[in-house]
Amino acid sequence: MLKTNAKYRLGQVVRHKKHPFRGVIFDVDPEFANTEEWYEAIPEDSRPIKDQPFYHLLAENDQSFYVAYVSEQNLIADQSGEPVDHPDIPNMFGPFQDGSYPLHFQLN
Query: Residue 1 has what pLDDT?
Result: 47
Residue 80 has pLDDT above 60, yes or no: yes
Q: pTM for the full model? A: 0.91
> For residue range 20-75, what is the model confidence (pLDDT) as tens digits?
999 999 999 999 999 999 999 999 999 999 999 999 999 999 999 999 999 999 99
Q: Which residues pair with 66 in a beta bridge?
A: 59
Cα dihedral 21, 27, 30, 35 in deg (nearest 10)? -70
